Amino acid sequence: MMITFKPRSLTFFVFIAFSIWCSSLLEPCDARKGGKQYWRQNKGASASALRKEQKGYGGNHHRHQAGPRVSTTPSRGDNYITPEETAAKLQKKGGGNSNVFNVLDYGAKGDGKADDTKAFEAAWAAACKVQASTINVPSGSVFLVKPISFSGPNCEANIVFQLDGKIIAPTSSGDWGSGLLQWLEFTKLKGISIKGKGIIDGQGSVWWSDSPTYNIPADQTYSSSQDTVIESDSGKMPSTKPTALRFYGSDGVSVTGITLQNSPQAHLKFDACTNVQVSDISISSPGDSPNTDGIHLQNSQDVVIFGTSIACGDDCISIQTGCSNIYVHNVNCGPGHGVSIGGLGKDNTKACVSNVTVRDVKMHNTLTGVRIKTWQGGSGSVQNIMFSNIQVSEVATPIMIDQFYCDKSKCQNETSAVAVSGVNYVNIQGTYTTKPVHFACSDSLPCTGVSLDTIQLKSVDEGKQLYGPFCWEAYGELKTSTVPEIDCLKKGKPYSSSTGAQSGSNDSC
C-alpha cells in the first residue's frame, strides 16, 4: 500500500528536523527569525553554558565544532556583579586591593582567649605597603595581643589604626620574658593615627600586686572592667613593667577617642616624636597603682594635648627632657600626681625643657597641681613655662617647684642643678589639703623669673591652715595680691658670691 504525505504533514516533519539540527548547536536558534538575530543572541552567550560544556553536563561534546565560538562574558542574568559592587564588597571586608585591612580577615579570633598577635602582625604588614591605609580592629570583639612592635622604616605614610574593639594584654609571665619596656609600640613612622571608640587594657593589676601601696592580695587581682578575678599564673611577673602604648621616632602622630586603662606602668608615651596631637581620649587606672603615668613625653616637640580625662597612680601628664613647644589644655586630672615637668637631671645628666603651656585644666584629689621637679647634680634648664586657668579641688600642694627631688629615702647633696627660669602662674584657684605653694630652689642656682598672678587657694578645712606658702631661693614678682598671702618670694635676681655676677643659668640648652 502506498503511503502518501499531505503537504501540511511534510512541512511539520521539515520543521522538526530543522529544530533538531539547531539544538545540536551550543546556542538556541529561533527558526522564525533571520540570521542577524541568531548572531546577536550568540554574542550574549551565558558563562553557565560554557561551564556545563567544560564539565560535560549533558549534550554533545563535539558541538563546538559545528557552531560559532562562545563568548565568556557573563550576562547580567547570570548573577552578574559589576566592578563597582565588587570593590564595595572588598572595601567592607578589608581585603583585595582595598586600603582597609580588617584583623579578622587575617585570622584574628577576637574571643579574648586565642592569641591574635600574628593576625595583627599580618594586617600591619599588608597595610604598610599601601599609602593612607587603615587597619580595622572592629567593635564587638576582644583581642588578646602579646608584646608587638609596629615598625615603620619601610612603611607607606599616613596609616590609620581604627580601634573600635578591645585589645587586652596577656597576664602570663611567660609572655613577657625577662621584662619589656613596652607592650604595643609604633616606631619610625610618618603619619600614624590611632582613633576610634575602642579600649586598650593592659590588665596591670597582675603587675601592681607586688607594690606595698597597692591593696589587692598578690595571688588574686581584679579587672576594673569586669567583676571577675584575674588569676596570676605560678610565675612571678618581671620586675620591669611595660608601658601600654608607645610611639618612638615618629612624625605626625595622632591619638583620638580611645580609652587606655590599667597599664602596668605608663599608659601612653611619646619618645623622640614631632607634631603630636592627643585629643578626646580617656586614661584610667586606680589611684594607688604604682608609676602609672597617664601621658609621658620625652625628647618630643610640637605636642598638643586637649579634651582628655586622666585618672592614674602617678603624673597625669609628665614632661621630660628634650621637650619643647608643648601645649596642654582642657584636661581633667585626678586621681594622680598632677601635671609635672620632670624629674630632670637624674644621675648628673643634662636636661632641657622649654616653651610649655598648661591651661584650662581641672584637678581633683591629686598629690600636686602643676609641678616642676629636678634632681640635684643635673644641668641644663627649664624655661618659658606658663600655667594658667588651673582649677584645683582637694589637691595636696597646687603649686610646686622642687629642685631637691628625690624618690628614694635619701639622696646625696650636690651643688649643680637644672636652672629654672621664666615660670608664670596665672589664675590658679581652688582648695588644697596640705600646702598652697612650695618653692624649694637650689642654693647655688636659684629659681628666677617666677611670677604669680591671681592666686586664690583655700584650705579644705576652713579656718585651719596646716602649712603656709614656702619659698627657698625663689626670685620673682607678685603681679596681684594672693590668697593666702605669699610674702616669701624674693625680688630681683640672685647674686653669686663666687663669680660676682648674677646667677640663674647652667649649661646652655
Among 201, 271, 314, 315, which one carries the catalytic annotation?
314
Q: What HEC string does 434-477 produce? A: CCCEEEECCCCCCEEEEEEEEEEEEECCCCCCCCCCEEECEEEE
Active site residue 337: yes
Q: Which of 397, 334, 337, 386 is nearest to 360 (CA)?
A: 386
Helix (H, G, I), strand (E, B) or coil at 19: helix
Q: What φ, ψ does residue 330 adopt, rounded to 5°?
A: 50, 60
Active site residue 302: no
Q: In sequence order, which residues have a C-beta less than 8 Å from that of residue 284 and are 6 or more positions away?
A: 224, 259, 260, 261, 262, 309, 310, 311, 312
Tell me the β-bridge partners of 440. Answer: 402, 472
Q: Which of 195, 147, 139 is nearest to 169 (CA)?
A: 147
Q: Measure the CA–CA gap between 387 and 428, rounded to whole angstroms.
A: 8
Helix (H, G, I), strand (E, B) or coil at 270: strand
Contact 434, 397 (CB under 8 A): yes
Pairing of strands 501-502, 495-496: antiparallel
* Omega before 343 within 30 of 0, i.e. cis: yes
157 to each of 108, 128, 154, 508, how far by Cα in Å?
25, 8, 9, 36
How many residues comprise the chain? 509
Looking at residue 42, its amino acid is: N
Among 201, 267, 271, 337, which one carries the catalytic annotation?
337
Q: Measure the CA–CA gap between 210 and 242, rounded to whole angstroms.
A: 15
Q: Which of 350, 349, 353 is nearest to 340 (CA)?
A: 353
Q: Measure the CA–CA gap between 78 and 446, rounded to whole angstroms.
A: 85
C-alpha cell recorded at residue 284: 584610667
Q: What φ, ψ does residue 138 adopt, rounded to 5°?
A: -75, 160
Catalogue the E-assigned strands of 294-367. 295-298, 301-311, 317-319, 323-333, 339-344, 350-364
Contact 391, 429 (CB under 8 A): yes
Q: Which of 231, 222, 114 is nearest to 173 (CA)?
A: 231
* Residues belonging to the active site: 314, 337
